[in-house]
Amino acid sequence: MKKRWEKIKTIILIIMIIILCINIKGGKSEEKEEKKIEWIKRMKEPIKPCGVAQKSCLMGSTCKNEKCECSEAYPGYEGVDCGDLDCKISKEFHETERNVENDKIEQLAKNYTYNTCICPEGWEGPECKICRTDEACADRYGQLDPTTNTTYKCNKTIVNYYNKIFDCRYSELSILGNIGPISIMAQCEGMTINGTIGKCLVTVDAIGGYPYKKPEEQLSQKNRKRKIVEDKLKHYPGGETLKRKMMESNKETYPKGYRLPYFYCLMDECKQEFYHKGDDVKIKYQCEKASCDESYRYPEISDTMLDIIRSAEGPGIYDCDYKTGKCEIDIGVFQFLDVDCSRSGECVSSSYTYEFHKSYLAEIISGGVLLGLIIVTFTFTLLYFIYSKIRDYRILKRWKELNEHGANKFEFENITYSLKLWENGFFKRKCIIEGISGVVGRGKLLALMGSSGAGKTTLLDILSGRRKVGQTTGELKINGEYVTSDYKRNIGYVTQDINLMGNMTVYEAIMFSANLRLPILISKKEKKRRVMEAMEALGIHHLKNRRIGTALKRGISGGEKRRVNIAVELVISPQVLFLDEPTTGLDSFNALKVVQCLKKLAEKGRIVIMSIHQPRTQVFTLCDELLLLSEGKVVYSGPTPDVLDHFASIGYEIPEATNPADIILDIVNKAAKRQKDNETKPPHERIPSLNQLSFLISKFQERRDRHFESEQQLLLNEKRSVNTKSTSSVNVAMRGATYSTSFYSQFYYLSWRAFKNFIRNWLLLPLQIGVCVGMALILGISLWKTPLIFPFGIQNLLGSFFFTCSLLGFLCMTSLELFIAERAIYIAERANCYYNSWAYYFSKIIFDLIPLRVIPPVIFGSITYWMMGLRYDGDISYFVTYMVVIVLFNILMGGICLVIATMSKTVAMANMITIILLFYFMLFSGYLSNSTHLPDYLIWNKYLSPFSYTMEILFSNQLLNQFVHIKLNSIKNFDKTILANIVLIELGFNYHQISFDMVILVVLSFVFMLIPGFLLHFFVYEKR
């Protein structure tokens, strides 16, 4: 009994499970069927009166007495809500008769094609108002137009003469979510080719039914419905003909044969304009006002999409190509690109024609301008070539003359230099050196000696024609003639600081000077001979292939660097060689060795003038002439051996077995100190003393007067006062100084040196590439295949672009040290007339811009773009846009860093300014702050940030016309879809300005690549 009961329970349980499964399956089937029935009901059942259902009057109609007045809507619509195409009107439009049976067939066909009428021969479109043949127009309107007495024709172009209907196709599946391909029908009236203002009605229909299915699923569904329709058509007169027309009308759009109204837009104040873009004729329909609403026909439209549709406002723009009929349609947030609007037509009188004759005036002008530029460029190049050759021969001739005759005597008379200084609220002029005169003969070594601040370097700068910020008066002569613009090319000036490129070898550094400072017509063989001769003269020939050395990599010794520094000036065979304290920083042995080299150079027929602080005895005795300075005045000038007798004659005996230079400087310094102390006392307490500086100066003047006929006395027959600010012969030589080589030669040799330096500093590029690859992999792995989901996907996407810009911006800071490290070298070489500043700048750009500003971002972008799964859609243009934008951004930031480096004297200062500027750019990039919520007095800052333009392009490039899914973890089962254009607007990115942003990036990149060149030329030069 118990076992039987167990069997009964088991059977009952099985039966219950079977019943439950049947109910579940049936429930799902019923739910699916109910959904389908609900959709069909919504399509076929009468719509509630407009007084009951809000906003149920469509296509511009209004609600009156709970009834939509379709007469006020755009023509061609009927129904309770004026949202159905009125096929009766289309029949009346074509004046065709039909019986009741045909009405039933028409209704059946209408239900089959969903809001599409079946058209007679020669007509097409949803309303059958798009003509396709001239005969159709003639049948409808008659053979002649009574007003113009001309025939009718079918205007199938996209030009609107009065009432044009466009039936457009748009194949993009994602623009409106999951509804599939769409049809855009525009009916415009009132606009004419004369610019008359009109209006348009734009309806957007889903093609393929609802819900959207794949083409193969549509095909099976269509075949089933086709069979039902075909069976019913068999029972009606003329059914076969209608069946054939129906099949032909749907063949063109197959498998997209179903139209389902989605939304519509009313556009007013419309005007059509014609313009040419290259060889193409463009027509633009621009409507200032636009408002959109749903059609109440599409089932299950989301509230989000409804808000998007209703938020779409004007202006509305149709921009079409006259030949192909391809259009770009922009209505509010909706952008439809590459829309095929070639299916358009209207019947017009043949007298209404508009011939598009391309205006060749612009092309003639542009062609003429281009031809003119070519001619001007060719003429300028030819003239410059001729001028360069003539100039080169003149330089060579002048150089040979100077080398043949040499400089027998160098004279300077009454050199005075003063500065304006701010003291006690007033500018006061302070005299730095006063009334210094002297003469140096060929083969002599003149030493300018004195304590620190005596004016040695200032006098040396003036004698060598250097630019000074103060006021200078005096005269300079070589062989009795005033110095000219050739003066700078035929002297050498060795500065106290060693300004040599550390990565160059000794031979390369000297050869670089020879290539740029010797006349270009001198052979390469002769230049090499001079380089070897200079190295042998200074005893550094054995260091030929040794690198000079940098702060990080040791090279040659300090004394050897001094001699190399002299060799780069000696290689040009200067008639006068100036040296500013060449023994500074050297031990006594190396100092003696350097001066011995200078003595030998002087003995070979050159004039050598050097400043020296406190030489040892052997160095002191090597000097042929001595000019002793104190407080900017001459204490002694004459032969070096006579200085001991001069000081002995005024009461200062120099003990034997001592360094005369030390004793003399000690005497002069003590005398200057006593005079300063005496001058600080009130006038009535001052005591004249024989031990003051004024006493030493007066005794030297007495000696000079006694030796009026001596070699050191300069007799001037002509007086010419000169001023370094305006008329100084020294500065005239500086301003009028010409280079020994042409701009192209300078650029070539500078590029050669920059390339060598870049290759030998090889770690810079690999480090940047390594950083880019490493950070790209980290970013790509962290944000692998980022989905378009709000909020985390959008946040990741925006954050990745911000990270990309920040990384590239900070990597550009390598340009700071690269230029600042060479700043002193550039200033020294420019002062010695090596090259033009623009030649130097362009050579730096070539080897900084291409390797460091293009290669790293290309590698970084190529990795991150595909790892993050950024937009492709079968179109490589999205990737190309991304790459171009980040490269332009990197070039722009590199240019900004170069501007900062040009104006900064230290790396620390440049780093601080750059970091502050980068943070400022980041703040207004659109990532850290939403620009739409910035106060009015701060909104302008975003236009100063390169980050803002770059982020706007990158973000719009990825999201424009895409759909974003909204998923909120805090709300269960919250899943909505929104047009990505709305996300862009809400985040403060204006996707309409992508082209403008791109132009701004290009212009800014170009401008900021030129600004450092101007700064170098006008502001970065030697100021002493």
Q: HEC string of 871-931?
A: CCCCCCHHHHHHHHHHHHHHHHHHHHHHHHHHHCCCHHHHHHHHHHHHHHHHHCCCCCCCH
- Residues near 624 by Cβ (< 8 Å), separated by ≥ 6? 444, 445, 446, 602, 639, 640
> At 702, which amino acid appears?
E
Side chain identity at 853, as an amino acid letter? R
User: Cis before residue 126, ω within 30 degrees of 0?
Assistant: no
* Amino acid present at 829: E
Main-chain dihedrals φ then ψ at residue 619, nearest 5 degrees? -70, -40
* DSSP-based helix, strand, coil % in the chain, nearest 5: 50, 20, 30
pLDDT at 84: 66
Please state the rounded mean pLDDT for residues 169-189: 65
Place of tokens 């299950």: 300
Rounded distance between C-alpha atoms, residue 415 and residue 166, angstroms: 88
Confidence of residue 727 (pLDDT cuts 50, 70, 90): very low
> What pLDDT does residue 947 have?
95
Cβ-based neighbour number of residue 700 at 10 Å: 18
Give the span between the Cα atoms of 742 and 489, in whole angstroms. 14
Q: What long-range pairs does 963-968 form, CB within 8 A, spacing at least 24?
A: 963/174, 963/175, 963/177, 963/788, 964/788, 964/789, 964/790, 964/793, 964/794, 965/787, 965/788, 965/789, 965/790, 966/304, 966/789, 966/790, 966/791, 967/789, 967/790, 968/791
Mean pLDDT of the chain: 77
pLDDT at residue 849 is higher than 90: no
CA distance 981 to 959: 7
Q: Calculate the dihedral angle through the C-alpha atoms of 779, 785, 788, 789, rounding to the nearest 10 degrees.
A: -80
Which ranges constitute the DSSP H helices of 197-352? 215-233, 239-251, 303-311
pLDDT recorded at residue 918: 94
Between 622 and 141, name the one with better pLDDT. 622
Distance CA 583, CA 611 (A): 9
Prior bond of 211 cis (ω within 30°)? yes
Q: How far apart are CA 601 and CA 444, in angstroms?
A: 9
pLDDT tens digits, one per residue of 86-107: 665 444 444 333 333 344 434 4
Question: What is the C-alpha separation between 966 and 984, in angstroms, rounded?
Answer: 14
pLDDT grade for 172, boundaries at 50, 70 and 90: low
Whose tokens are 């118990």? That residue is: 2
748-770, pLDDT tens digit by residue? Answer: 999 999 888 888 877 777 888 88
Structure tokens, 229: 């329709």
Tokens of 457: 């370097």
781-782-784-787 Cα dihedral, nearest 10 degrees: -170
Q: How many CA atoms lie within 13 A of 79 on its CB side?
A: 24
DSSP character at residue 76: T
Q: Each residue of 189-227: b (16+ CB within 10 Å) or e? A: bebbeeeeebbbbbbbbbbbbbebeeeeebeeebeeebe
Q: Per-residue pLDDT tens for 587-611? A: 888 888 888 888 988 888 889 999 9
Q: What is the pLDDT of residue 282?
A: 81
> Of 371-380, 487-496, 535-544, 832-841, which gets the smallest average pLDDT?
487-496
pTM: 0.69
Structure tokens at 683: 């006038």
Cβ pair 665, 614 in contact under 8 A: yes
What pLDDT shows up at residue 788? 86
Beta strand spans in 104-197 (E): 123-124, 130-131, 144-145, 150-155, 163-170, 182-189
Using DSSP bridges, classify how beta strands 576-580 and 607-612 pair: parallel, antiparallel or unpaired. Answer: parallel
Residue 24 has pLDDT above 70, yes or no: no
